[in-house]
Amino acid sequence: MERVFSGVQSSGAPHVGNYFGAFRQWVADQHTADSVFCVVDLHALTVETDPAQVRGRTLETASWLFASGLDPDVCIVFAQSHVHEHTGLSWLLECTATFGELRRMTQFKEKSKGNESVSAGLFTYPVLMAADILLYDTNKVPVGDDQRQHLELARDLAIRFNGRYGETFVVPEAVVPTLAARVMDLQHPERKMSKSVTSPLGTIDLLDEPDAIVQKIRKAVTDTDGEVRYDPEHKPGLSNLIELFAAASRRSIEDVTASYDRYGPLKADLAETLVEVLNPVRKRYVEITADPGEVPRLLEKGAAKASAIASKTLLRARRAIGLLAP
């Protein structure tokens, strides 16, 4: 069976971009592949954080994964910091990566722009992400469009390491969804919807109540020409809504576009569909978080299973690079 691995940063409240661009696909994958999913809490430390918030967000993010439908009896779900092999392998890969290739990472450029102090972790984070993936002999990595470049790096590092030290890693492939691979901010459709950027009207959080969803969609920025047409370059706001609608209703972009000749009814039906799809997820989240011990227990079980795989891969990599056995 193929191995699927993916992760989500505990950098804030997950939104509909995370759900339609990633989580919903993971839920399907768990039944067709040997699946491993991770709350990448170490990645969330690349920007300055408050320790109490770090713990809370790790649990919150994991709770959303279970609420979305990941079943701990079917797949492995764990917190990255519970499996120390991730940082162990990351160092071996940092010594394989070059400064030049990390400097080219667009997410680093975007996230560091305008900041006086940028952590070294923000710079090397794509290498830790490569370690996350390579530790599990991953074949497929379902990710949103924004992670393509990091996936390319993980592939390059695996190939380079294998070439230098002998076959050690499986070379992974990215799987990017055809719809909702990059859900845009509803108020600023030129930038992607993001957990860590504050945009209250531009972001639909998974915890949003139906009224808030309806209001945010109603107020979403479109354009003045009034024609219902999918054209991301000239009509980014409307095209984002059409694509979100197609993803949420599992219809094609053509089908959605052909069904409307005015923006108002399209927005109203999109809001209704989002409420319908997200309501059960939000209800499960409330149920799961009612017992504060439940998610830590599930994560502990997940970490034990993840460790059993990761420790073998790290040992293989340590031997290959020539480290003395402890």
Q: Are strands 76-79 and 140-142 parallel, antiparallel or unpaired?
A: unpaired
Residue 111 appears among annotated catalytic residues: yes
Residue (11 or 249) nearer to ligand AQP, CB: 11
Sketch the per residue contact string, 85 through 124, with ligand AQP: x for CB under 6 A, - otherwise. ----------------------------------------
Phi–psi pair at 164, nearest 5 degrees: -80, -40
- What are 38's strand-pairing partners? 7, 78
Residue (186 or 317) nearer to ligand AQP, CB: 186
Q: Are strands 3-9 and 34-40 parallel, antiparallel or unpaired?
A: parallel
Interaction of residue 179 with ligand AQP, rule CB under 6 A: no
* Whole-number Å distance between alpha carbons of 110 and 143: 19
Cβ atoms of 44 and 175 closer than 8 Å = no
Sketch the per residue contact string, 8 through 47, with ligand AQP: x for CB under 6 A, - otherwise. xx-x-----xx--xx-------------------------
Cβ atoms of 235 and 222 closer than 8 Å = yes
Cβ atoms of 181 and 145 closer than 8 Å = yes
246, 241, 203: which is closest to 222 by C-alpha?
241
SS3 state of residue 5: strand
Residue (13 or 170) nearer to ligand AQP, CB: 13
Among 94, 101, 146, 152, binds ligand AQP (CB under 6 A): 146
Among 46, 90, 194, 222, binds ligand AQP (CB under 6 A): 194
Q: Which of 140, 192, 216, 267 is the catalytic position?
A: 192
Interaction of residue 183 with ligand AQP, rule CB under 6 A: yes
Interaction of residue 216 with ligand AQP, rule CB under 6 A: no
Interaction of residue 144 with ligand AQP, rule CB under 6 A: yes
Phi–psi pair at 146, nearest 5 degrees: -65, -15
Residue (17 or 189) nearer to ligand AQP, CB: 17
Residue 267 appears among annotated catalytic residues: no
Please state the length of the chain: 326
Q: Which of 140, 195, 235, 267 is the catalytic position?
A: 195
Interaction of residue 143 with ligand AQP, rule CB under 6 A: yes
* Whole-number Å distance between alpha carbons of 139 and 250: 26
Summarize as ranges the residues that interact with ligand AQP (CB under 6 A): 6, 8-9, 11, 17-18, 21-22, 143-144, 146-147, 180-183, 192-196
Residues tagged active-site: 111, 192, 195
